[in-house]
Every structure is written in C-alpha cells, then in structure tokens.
Structure 1
Amino acid sequence: MRLTWKFVDSQSDPDFIVAPGERLSWPRTLGLGAQHVVAMFGATFLVPVLTGFPPATTLLFSGVGTVVFLVITGNRLPSYLGSSFSVVAPVTAAVAAQGTGSALGGIVAVGVLLMVVGAVVQLGGTRWLDTALPPVVTGAIVALIGFSLAPSAKTNFDDGPLLGSVTLVLLVAVLAFFRGMIGRLAIFLAVATGYGLALLLGEVDTTGIAKAAWIGLPDFQTPAFDLAVLPMFLPAVIALVAENIGHVKSVGQMTRTDMNPLMGRALAADGFATALAGFGGGSATTTYAENIGVMAATRVYSTAAYWVAAAVAITLSLCPKVGAVISAVPPGVLGGATVVLYGLVGILGVRIWLTNRVDFSTPVNQLTAAIPLIIGIADFTWHAGGLTFTGIALGSIAALLVYHGMRFLSVRGGTPLTPSMESA
C-alpha cells in the first residue's frame, strides 16, 4: 500500500474526475475531508443515541474503521465507514434481554462472519453469493430490517410530537428543495434545528454537557457472548454484504474503473472494523451512501480526503463534550428523523428489487418477499431452547427457505415457476 497521491489541478472539463490515487491541493483536500465528516455525521451519531451506546466511542471506531478499510483495500477504494442501521433492532432487543455486553458480542459476531464472507469472495468470487443470496432475497431482508423498526420510531415520536413534527417536516423540505451538498446534509440540518428548538423550549438536559470535559478518552465497554441473542444479528450480515457490494459497484461505475477485484477485501475490511468496534463498545460499521453522494457531487474520489475524514472523526471523539451534546438529543427529535431514516432503509430493499429487475409475476419471488415482510414487521418470535429468534431473524430465514425451497421443489417436481399469481 502506498500513501502517496498524484497531484492534479481541477479543470473545466465536465468529464474531469479526481481518481482514488490522485488528489487536489492539500487545503482543498482538507476541506473535502471535513465535508465527508459533516455528510456522515447526522446518520452516524443517531445509531449510538438510539441504541444507548456512547456516541464518542462509536465516532472513534468509525474513524479507526475507515483507516482499517483504506489499509486493507490497499488505499484504492474510497469509503467512509459510518454506523450501520442494520444492527439497531437486534442491539435494542439484545440490550433489553441480556444487557449491553451481549449486544456488543453480537456485533463482534457480525464482524467475524463478514470477514469470513470477504475471504471466500476474495478466493472464489461473488458468483456463489449471487446464487445463495439473489436480489429478491437480499431486498426482502433489507426491507424488513427497516420496516420492522417502525414501532421504535413511533415511540420516540410520541415522546415529543412537536419536536418530531418540526424535524420531520424540515428533513423532507430540505430533501425536496435542495440538491448537492445541502441535500446531503438534510439529516444533520433537520436534527440540529430540532435540537435548537428543544433548547429554546427547555427540553434538553444540559447537565451532562456542562460536566463533560473538553479532552478525554471515550468510554470503552467489553463484549459478552451469549448464544441466545446471536440469531438476532444474522440478518445484519446479509444487509452489510449488500451495502458493501453496492458501494464497490457504485464507485467502480463513477470512476470508470473495475473495482470488483477489491470486493472481497472491502467485505473483510468492514468485517474487521465492525468486530473491532464491538470489542471496544462501538457500533457496527458500513459504507455510507451520504459519502458516495459527496463524491458524485464533487467528482473527487481521492482516498486522501478519507484519511482526512478519519483523522477529523477520531479527533472529535476525543472531546467528551461532543459526545455529551450528542447524547442529549431529545427523543422527539430522534422520532422525526427516524421516521424518514427507517423508512429509507426499508425502501433500500425495494430499490434492490427494482435495480435488479426482480420479476414479481412469479410465485417464488412473490412469496419470498411477502412472507418475510409480514414476519418481520409483525415481529414474530420463536424460542427454541436457549435461543430467541425475533421477527428479523425469522423473516430472513423465511426468505432463504421460501426461495430455495420453492426452486428445489419445482425442479424435483418438473414444474417451472411460471407467472400464475399476477393478481395476488
């Protein structure tokens, strides 16, 4: 790995891009790095606030994870690793059932499994993934992860309907009226405005902020491994696989470069970063669409900007005052933001179906999507011995069983899976 970049000047050519191995002047690169931090900040800090994890710790491992990602991918794949919303539901359930340690153990397990997937992909390619996890399955799992969080969004919203309404309306308005960087900052701007209103109304407890030091280490926690909660985290692995594959393909398309040889490394890197975060008290990490948006808007794909972003995030994490400010975000503000964010996670699953042109005129695709969504949204629960399978886990298992089971039976029975349920 080489930590050197070829200096290039920006040009008026509309097709001009700054490649991963290139950079603009250092002042502009520093500015772009800070821009990436601001873009990811709104969504990244919401995850620890929603799960009860220390925000500063999550921010630290977000920056460290980005460094890990850049190193493992040979400094060739630009990406910022922010907090993943795919673990919010299992972490919340695990904390309620067994405590924070068990939730961190689940995050470590997610990271380890993701590293295993990355190693297999690096050695054997992605074809086996396409067979085991076709788009109809991954789309269903990602969708049910988002939609199953609807009750959590409602609970937060009900704790402060005025603040939630203001945050929600502003978030939608910013996304509707603005493009480019301002649009990418919609979450940050909406939450900051809601926070400001809460301060004016006296609905923010500032005691912790006043007591927090300006400089200090984040709070670290250690994981505990409880077999009973691990099944809850399995769907998160599939979601992270889908997110990382989408990121690699997106960067490849934008830079007009074949990034597929880095697919296995990207998966393993995110897995390592997630496991590392779990061992220290941080949340699972993932590649961020917000930062892809910044790259698309600026046409600068230099990994140098991401080294700067990682350094800024780590520096901010060493200020306990920042973590205290984040922790004090009122539930109503979170409710307004999560109505949008959780919904968008669900719609991401729908987008996977649309992008891959999943044919929903066939029974196998209809049932692979329909059954898991009902199981996940209704939060079916099954206790088997010492294990607890929640709606997300059961829905994900159902997606796999329905798809592969129906295909197997159709082949054995000699009956093709033809369109027969168009009106269903």
Structure 2
Amino acid sequence: MPLWSVYGNGRTVAPGDVVKPEQRLSWPATIAMGGQHVLAMFGATFTVPILTGFPVATTLLFSGIGTILFLLLTRNKLPSYLGSSFAFLAPVMAFNGGGRLESPEQIAMALVGIVVAGVVLAGIGFLIQAVGVKWIDRFMPPMVAGTIVALIGLNLAGAAWNNFKAAPLTAVITLAAIVLFSVVFRGFLGRISIFLGVIVGYIAAVIQGEVKFETVAAADWVGLPQFHLPAFTEPAAWSGVLMFLPVVLVLIAENVGHVRGVAAMTEDPSINQSTGKALSADGISTAIAGMFGGSGTTTYGENIGVMAATRVYSTAVYWVAGVVAIVLALSPKIGALFNTIPMGVLGGATTALYGLIGVIGIKIWVDNRVDLSRPVNQLTAAVGLIVSIGGFSAVFGGIEFGSIILATVAVLAIYHLGNLIARARKTGADDGGPIPAVGPLGGDPEN
C-alpha cells in the first residue's frame, strides 16, 4: 500500500477542499511545495543560529533531520516542519551575558541545556500519550502560556539594543525594511518580512563596507557542517540548565497549538490524538540537535501559514522539505555566508523579532479571550513581565536563578495560588464568608 494516495488530478485543489496528510499531489507539485516550505522556514531557522553564534549549517541540518524524525514518530499523520525555536534564545545567550556566544566552550555549555530541555519535553510527550492532554490545559492555561511566551521575548530587549547600537544606521535601515515588507505585503511575502528585511539591511551593510567575504571565498561548496559536543562534565553548564526549563513550557504550547490547528483546518479531530507523539518527537529532535551543536527545534507557524494558504496538508511535502534542508546544510559556503551578517543588521532584525515574540504571547490572551480585568490575571502578567524585563536574579544554595526562571515560577505561583485562594474564598462566601466588593486592581472581586 503506498504511503500517500494521489489527490484528484494531482495538480489542483478543488475550492473548499483540502489535501489531507495521507494524500499528495503529483510529485512535481509536491516537490515545488516542499521547496516553498523551505523558503517559509528559512528566515526564522537561520536567524536563531546567527543570533546565538551556533553554526548555521549544523542548525539547518538538524532541522531537516528533526523534521523527518518527527514524521516518522508521528507515523506520517501530522504535517510539520521543525525549525529553530526562538524560545531558546534567552537561556542560550545567557552564557555570554545576553550576547552572541563567542567560543566553542560557551556553545558546548549551552548545548547541555538544550539536550536537557529536549529530554524533558520528550518525557512529557510520553506521559501525555499515557494519561491524556487535559492536565496540560489545567497547568498551563492561556493566561499562563501567553505570559511565559511574552516574557521570554521581552527578556531579550537588552540584547536587541546591544546589537542595534553597534551600527545604528544599518539597524534602522533593516528595521524600516522589515516594517515596510510586513505592512505592504500579504500572504507568503508578509510572513517572511524579517528575512526580506535582513537582505535589505545586508545590502546596506555591504555598501557601507561592514561585510568581509574572505571566509566565504575560502569555504568549500560541499562538506560536513561544524559539530559541537555538549559540555556534560562542566559544572557551569549544569548551573544554567534551570534557565531552559521555562522553554519546555513554550514548546508544549507551540506543539499543542500546532496539532489543534492542523486538526481544525483539516476537519479531522483524530489528529488531536497525536499530541503526545508530537511532543515526544520534538523533544527527541531537540535532544539530538543539542548533542551535535544544533539549535533546539519546534513546530513552525510559518509553515502552518503556507498550509492554510495552499490547503495542502500532505506529509509528503514535508519529507521533501526535510531532504532539501539537509542538502543545503551540506554546503559550508552557505554557512560562511550567513556568518558574515553584521551586528547592525541583527540589531534591526532582533528589535522587531524579540518584540514579536512578546506580541505572540499577548495574542494567545486575545485569541482565548483572557479576562484581564481579573486581578489574578493582571498580577500574573504584571509581575512575570517586570521580573523578566528587569533582569531579576537570585542565588539559592549557591545556584543563580536568572530572570526567566524566576519570572516563570512567579507566573505559575501567582496564577494557581491566586485562583486556589479565590475558589476557597468563594466557597467560604457560599457558607456565609465575606467577599470584598472590589478587587485590589478594580477587577472582578472573585479574582
């Protein structure tokens, strides 16, 4: 029995219809769409290693391998591309004070956290396969998930400024181009506005003499990417592992959202049963990438957008995309070219990108109609965001806890304890106990 049945005439999709995961168009059309998905993921996937200092080609290689592994572990039923996760930016860059990693030793230490995050995520995936996904909804409802996503993005504001001030003119040109592309274009071009803005900023940097091409000329066209191994024996690496645990919560939210999105768009509720497999597959992919120097992975909204536009959800398309990414990764010259991108270009791109991560968190609130008039929700967001943006830190037992882990703990504690107390007070009121007429911030007195 073939892996995919051919949809219709293999060339066009009927109005109002979809090409399901187990179907495909003709192979020429499938290959073309696979290439389109590579373009969709490329801007975001290459941005993460550029910002962190990880090898671009290595990250691209393991995004392709991770995509194929994901398809295998989900039994070819869930279309998805696994690209670099922006959620890893803050904890990775913390190994150089919030800046781009500058040495193999720093990369090796950061990789330990990526591997641990992948293992934890995979374990949660296996747990969900056994007991179901409802406990995730209770532990991390939209109020909590949105706040954690937002605080991870906004935590990087200082890093964006450090890049920006390195070459302000180039940064302004890059940022202006990103804004213009996102406003002027719709559909696919609008979704890759950061990628297009980086190209414009890069051209401006070349004109100003900020780019050197010696390393590109010396690089081979074909060869293996540069690999790094995690520094498992380095105590400093393990002291930073806690910073990666909030990232797991973000990856859960992204994967669950991806599965539900595909299920809704294909009108196939059975796809939701793949949630645990999706989480474990992404976790295993992330751990494998971390073992050899690649960035942590996640399902990609960019590719969801392409599927929504084309109405083609065939997993065959993603097999093509994964193979194309692997082939591109085997060119050191491409990796060397990306490494020539100057700080000014990164400054413009990260100013938009890190802010957009914060906005995605807010969008989770909006999409799920979170009631921000409730004091417990207000304080969950207020405290978490300020702790993150302000760079709070604390030392317990000789271990330093950074702002992201402190903010995440604060978000979870305030939300769950606040609601627990509110329910207890409401029960007390039913038994004759008092409830104040107005909450502390003028919201719902029931919190």
TM-score scaled by length of structure 1:
0.96
Give, in angstroms, the shift of residue 51 of structure 1: 0.7
Letter in 2 for 1:27: P
1:253 aligns with 2:264: yes
Aligned equivalents of 1:61 and 1:11: distance in 2?
Answer: 32
Partner of 1:93: 94
Q: Is the 8 A contact 1:363 1:419 kept in 2?
A: no
Q: Secondary structure at the match of 2:224?
A: coil
Q: Is the 8 A contact 1:361 1:421 kept in 2?
A: no
Give, in angstroms, the shift of residue 165 of structure 1: 1.3
Q: 2:141 aligns with which of 129, 134, 140?
A: 134
Letter in 2 for 1:192: I
Aligned equivalents of 1:84 and 1:120: distance in 2?
Answer: 22
Partner of 1:146: 153
Q: 1:335 aligns with which of 336, 347, 362?
A: 347
Partner of 1:364: 376
Give, in angstroms, the shift of residue 109 of structure 1: 0.6
1:235 aligns with 2:246: yes
Q: Is the 8 A contact 1:363 1:418 kept in 2?
A: no
Q: Is the 8 A contact 1:364 1:417 kept in 2?
A: no
1:187 aligns with 2:169: no
Q: Gaps spanning 5+ residues in structure 2: where?
A: 99-104, 430-434
Q: Closer, same or farther in 2 for the Cα pair 1:159/1:398, shift >3 Å?
A: same
Partner of 2:317: 305
Partner of 2:432: none
1:209-288 equivalences in 2 (<5 Å): 209-225=216-232, 226-258=237-269, 259-288=271-300
Q: 1:170 aligns with which of 149, 170, 177?
A: 177
Partner of 1:4: 4
Q: 2:308 aligns with which of 288, 296, 316?
A: 296
After superposition, the C-alpha distances for 1:182-234 in whole angstroms (9 at most, x for unaligned) are 22221221111211222222211212111111111011111123331011111
Q: Secondary structure at the match of 1:227?
A: helix
Q: Is the 8 A contact 1:34 1:308 kept in 2?
A: yes
Partner of 2:419: 407
Q: Is the 8 A contact 1:47 1:85 kept in 2?
A: yes
Give % identity: 51
Q: Is the 8 A contact 1:8 1:22 kept in 2?
A: no
Aligned equivalents of 2:159 and 2:2: distance in 1?
Answer: 45
Q: 2:363 aligns with which of 328, 344, 351?
A: 351
Letter in 2 for 1:89: A
Q: Closer, same or farther in 2 for the Cα pair 1:49/1:64, shift >3 Å?
A: same
1:39-50 equivalences in 2 (<5 Å): 39-50=40-51
After superposition, the C-alpha distances for 1:293-314 in whole angstroms (9 at most, x for unaligned) are 1111111111111111111110
Aligned equivalents of 1:278 and 1:157: distance in 2?
Answer: 29
Aligned equivalents of 1:13 and 1:4: distance in 2?
Answer: 18
Letter in 2 for 1:167: T
Q: Is the 8 A contact 2:6 2:26 kept in 1?
A: no
Q: 1:110 aligns with which of 85, 104, 117?
A: 117
| Cα root mean square deviation, aligned | 1.9
Partner of 1:64: 65
After superposition, the C-alpha distances for 1:332-358 in whole angstroms (9 at most, x for unaligned) are 111111111111111111111111211
Partner of 1:374: 386
Q: Closer, same or farther in 2 for the Cα pair 1:5/1:219, shift >3 Å?
A: farther
After superposition, the C-alpha distances for 1:304-331 in whole angstroms (9 at most, x for unaligned) are 1111111111001100000001111111
Q: Closer, same or farther in 2 for the Cα pair 1:379/1:318, shift >3 Å?
A: same
Equivalent residue pairs, number? 424
Partner of 1:78: 79
Q: Secondary structure at the match of 1:388?
A: strand
Letter in 1 for 2:129: Q
Aligned equivalents of 2:286 and 2:12: distance in 1?
Answer: 38
Aligned equivalents of 2:152 and 2:131: distance in 1?
Answer: 28
Q: Closer, same or farther in 2 for the Cα pair 1:115/1:401, shift >3 Å?
A: same
Q: Closer, same or farther in 2 for the Cα pair 1:12/1:39, shift >3 Å?
A: closer
Q: Is the 8 A contact 2:4 2:24 kept in 1?
A: no
Letter in 1 for 2:188: M
Q: Which has the larger radius of gyration?
A: 2
Q: Is the 8 A contact 1:66 1:306 kept in 2?
A: yes
Aligned equivalents of 1:381 and 1:174: distance in 2?
Answer: 38
Q: Closer, same or farther in 2 for the Cα pair 1:422/1:120, shift >3 Å?
A: same
Q: Secondary structure at the match of 1:286?
A: strand
Q: 1:321 aligns with which of 333, 346, 349?
A: 333
Q: Is the 8 A contact 1:79 1:287 kept in 2?
A: yes
